[in-house]
Amino acid sequence: MSATTRRVLGVVLAVLALAGGTVAFSSQRATQLKAASVQAQAEVDAELPKVAASLEGLTQEVARAAERGANLEAIGGLLSEITSQADLEPLAKTFEAFETEPFFAPFVKVGPHAFFLGATPLFSTEPALVPKLQTLAATATTAGTATAIVTHGGAVWLVGVSRSQKTNPQQQPIVFALAEKLTPVRLDGLASKHGAAVLVVPDGKSIDAVGGGSKEFVDVLRHRLTSMKLLTEPCCAQKELAPGVQLLVHRDPAARLHAATAEASKAAAPIYGVAGLLALGALVFGFRPQRKPQNDEHAELLRQTAAQLKASQEQLQRLSQRIETASTTDRFAGGAPGPTDDGLGSTQATVQQSRYEVVAPLGEGGMARVAVAVVRGAEGFRRTFVVKRLRPELSNNPEVVSQFIDEARLGASLVHSNIIPVFDFGRDAEGYYLAQEYILGRDVDALITASREQRQRALEPEVVLYIAQEALKALGYAHTRANDAGKAMGLVHRDVSPNNLMVSARGEVKLLDFGIVKSDDRTTRTQAGVVKGNLFFMSPEQARALPVDPRSDLFSLGMVLVSALTGETLYSGDNVYDLMTRAAAGPTDADRERVKRECGALADVVLKALSVDPASRFPDAEAFGKALAAVGPAATSAQLQALVETLFATQFAEERQKFAVSA
C-alpha cells in the first residue's frame, strides 16, 4: 500500500471516529430530551385534577357564604309567617327590599343571588339564571347544600346553594343561591398555588375564556384553542370541568428540559474523548513514517487496517448501546456517503454549492426544512424564493427522496393562478431542494386567528365565500389534470386545510403543499393502512385509510369553511387518538346542529360537503362552486386585500423591507 493510500485511510478512519462520536452524543441527548418531555407532560396531566379540585373548593366557599345568608335572623323570623300561597308575594318583596339593607351588603357584593321556598322561586337579581339554580335549590332542600360551576352570559359562575335551618309551618325551608363570577384574580390565586397557568372556557367560546397565571403561558393555552395545528411539545392538559365548561392547565417544561440538556452534556466529554483517541490513533497510523512495504508486508498492512476499522466500529457501537436510534449510528460507522448511486440514478461525483442564500427560516417538519432565500445574478439581479430542503439525514433514504421528487415533479406540472408553483428542483452541497414562488401573505389559519384576536370575531361570510370559490378553482384544476399522454392523473390533495391555503397581500388565494398528494402518476405510494393529513380536516374515508377521490378534498374544504365562519375547528380532542376517532366517524348530529346554528346562509352548502357518505357530497369542485355562488355575492379580491393588509400591516411592512427585490 502506498503512503498516500495509507494517509487517506487514516483520515477516513479519523473522520468516522469523530462522526460516530457526534452521532452517539446527539442520539443520547435526543433520548434524554424525549424522556424529559414525556415526564413534563405527565406532570401537567397529574396537575389537572388538582386544579379542578381547587376550583371545586372555591364553589364550597361560595356555598358556605350561601349558608350564612340562608340562616340570617331576618329570614328565620319571616318563615313563621308563611302559612299559605298568598304569603309568597309579600315574602318576595321583602327579599327584594333586602338589597338595600346594610346587613345584606356582603351578599350583594359577591354576585347574583336568588331566594326559593323549597324549589319555588321567590326573588332573583338575575332571572335568566333561575332555571339553572332551581335544580340546585331542589337538591339543597333535602341535602342541605349544593354546588355547581355554570355558564351564563359569556362568563363562568361558581354557584353555592344552601337551605335555612328553620322552616315554615309546612316544613319548607328558605333556600338561598349565591353565584360568584370566576375572574382572573381568582384564577391567579389558583395558578400561584399549583405553579401552573389556568384557562377556563365557557361554552367552547375561546373569546370568553378567563385565565390566570403567567400571561405567556395563558397565551399558550389560548393558542391551543384557536390554532388549527396540533401542539406536539409538552404543553397542556384539558378536561371538561362541568357541562359547557372546559379547563386547561399548562406547566412550563423549560426547567426539566434544561436539566435534561445539562445531564446529556455531561456525556459529551467521555464520548468525544474516546472518539478523539480513535481519531488520533487513525491519524498516527496514516501519517507515521514507514519504509516502502515489501510484498510480504503488504498483506499484513491490509490486515492491520481492517482490524483498526473493526475496532473503531465496535467502540462506537459500545458508546451507543443505550440509544434507540442505533441504525443511524451504524450508517455513519459503516462509511461516509460519497459519489455512489443514490438509488435514483444520480451518480455525480461532486455537487455544487447552493445558489440559494437563506434570508430567514420559516419552519421545520419531519421531512423538510423551509426558508426564504434569494438568488443573485449579474447587474444586481436578485429574486426571492421559498426553498424547501429535504432533511440531510433523509437524503440516503430512497423512498423519502422519491416522495420528495414526486412532490417537486407534480408541483412543477400544476400551472394555475390559484396554485403556488414549483420553479426549481435539484441537489446541491446542502442536499435535495425545491424552490417555490415567494408570496407575501399569510395562511388562512393565521387569518382566522388574527381576526379573532384583533376584531373579536370570525371571518365574514362574504370573505369565506371568496376564499372557498378561489380554492375550488385550484382543486377543480388539479382534480381534472391530465398528463402529457392525455391520461387523467387522478390527483387528490389529501391535506386541504387552513394551513395550506395562502392569502396574499394582494388578495389572491393560493393552494400549496402537494407533499402527500395522491396521484396515479406518482412513483411512490402510501402504504395500506397509513393515514396522512390533518386530522382536524380530513374526510372519514381518509381517516379510515380507505381509498379516496376528489370528493375527499371537498369534505376537507367544507371543514375549512366551518373553521373560517366560526373561528374554531368542528372537532376537538385531548390527543391524536381522540381526533382520529372523531375524524373516522365524521360529523355527529350535534356537529351538524352546530353548523346549522353558526354557519348562517352557508350552512346547507357546508352540510352537503360534510356528508359522511361521499356519494351524498358534491360530485366535483364545479358543483360545489355553483352551490356557493347561489348563496349570495362574495367579497372581492380588493376587499380581501384590505382585510389582510389591516390585520398584518406591521408584519408585511417588515417583510417588504427585509425581502425587497429589484424590479
Secondary structure E strands in 327-381 = 357-364, 368-376
The Cα angle at residue 645 between residues 513 and 424, in degrees rounded to 5? 30
Task: Say if residues 94 and 81 touch (Cβ distance below 8 Å).
Answer: no
Q: Could you give the C-alpha distances from 481 to 410, 467, 484, 494, 615, in angstroms and in order?
A: 10, 22, 10, 16, 22
Q: Is 495 a catalytic residue?
A: yes
| Cβ atoms within 10 Å of 568's Cβ, excluding its own | 21
The Cα angle at residue 141 between residues 135 and 146, in degrees rounded to 5? 60
The Cα–Cα gap between 641 and 153 comes to 35
Close Cβ partners of 172 (under 8 Å, ≥ 6 residues apart): 82, 117, 118, 141
Handedness of CA 588, 589, 593, 596 (dihedral sign): positive
Close Cβ partners of 437 (under 8 Å, ≥ 6 residues apart): 385, 386, 420, 421, 423
Close Cβ partners of 657 (under 8 Å, ≥ 6 residues apart): none
Task: Say if residues 441 and 582 touch (Cβ distance below 8 Å).
Answer: no
Secondary structure E strands in 36-130 = 113-117, 120-124
| Cβ atoms within 10 Å of 43's Cβ, excluding its own | 16
The Cα–Cα gap between 178 and 115 comes to 9
Sheet with 357-364: list strands edge to edge: 357-364, 368-376, 382-390, 431-437, 422-428
The Cα–Cα gap between 594 and 154 comes to 17
Q: Which three cell numbers stand for residue 592?
A: 351538524
Close Cβ partners of 270 (under 8 Å, ≥ 6 residues apart): none
Close Cβ partners of 278 (under 8 Å, ≥ 6 residues apart): 13, 14, 17, 311, 312, 315, 316
How close are the terminal C-alpha atoms of the chain, in Å? 60
Q: Which three cell numbers stand for residue 96?
A: 327584594
For 118, left (φ over 0), alpha (ψ -120 to 50), or beta? left
Helix/strand/coil for 547: coil
The one catalytic residue in 252, 406, 443, 495 is: 495
Give the single-character DSSP code of 600: G
Catalytic residues: 495
